[in-house]
C-alpha cells in the first residue's frame, strides 16, 4: 500500500507531484501575477525552467542523458505552448463565427 502511494505521488500528471505543486506552478503563478506576463510566455519560461532543472539533475548521472532530457523538456514546452495558443485561437474564431451567424 505504501508503494502505491509513492508511485502516485511521482506521477507527473498527479496533483501531488512534488515539483509541479511546489516549484513549477508557483513559478507560473509568479510570472503571471507579479511579472504580468501573458500566459504563453509564462508557460514557455516555466517549461524552460523545468528543462534546466531536469537537465541539471540528469547531467550529474551522464552529460548525454542530461542534454537529452533538456532537449526533451524544451520540445515538450514548445508543443504545449503551441497547443495552448492554437486552442485559444480556434476558440476565438469559433466565437466570432457564431456571433456572425446570430
Tens digits of per-residue pLDDT, 18-46?
777 888 889 999 999 999 999 999 999 99
Tell me what pLDDT residue 14 has. Answer: 58
Residues in CB range of 47: below 8 A, 6 or more apart? 73, 74, 76, 77, 78, 80, 81
Q: Report how far residue 13's alpha carbon sits from residue 74's, in angstroms, rounded to the nearest whole number.
A: 18
Mean pLDDT of the region 51-56: 93
Q: Give the pLDDT score at 62.
A: 94
pLDDT band at 1 (very low <50, low <70, confident <90, very high): very low
Residue 7 has pLDDT above 60, yes or no: no
* pTM attached to this predicted model: 0.74
Picking from 11, 49, 17, 2, the residue whose alpha carbon sits closest to that of residue 30 is 49
Amino acid at each position: 500500500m505504501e508503494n502505491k502511494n509513492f508511485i502516485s505521488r511521482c506521477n507527473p500528471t498527479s496533483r501531488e507531484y512534488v515539483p509541479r505543486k511546489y516549484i513549477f506552478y508557483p513559478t507560473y503563478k509568479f510570472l503571471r501575477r507579479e511579472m504580468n506576463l501573458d500566459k504563453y510566455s509564462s508557460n514557455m519560461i516555466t517549461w524552460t525552467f523545468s528543462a534546466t532543472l531536469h537537465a541539471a539533475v540528469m547531467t550529474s548521472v551522464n552529460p548525454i542523458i542530461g542534454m537529452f532530457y533538456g532537449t526533451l523538456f524544451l520540445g515538450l514546452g514548445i508543443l504545449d505552448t503551441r497547443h495552448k495558443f492554437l486552442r485559444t485561437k480556434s476558440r476565438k474564431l469559433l466565437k466570432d463565427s457564431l456571433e456572425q451567424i446570430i
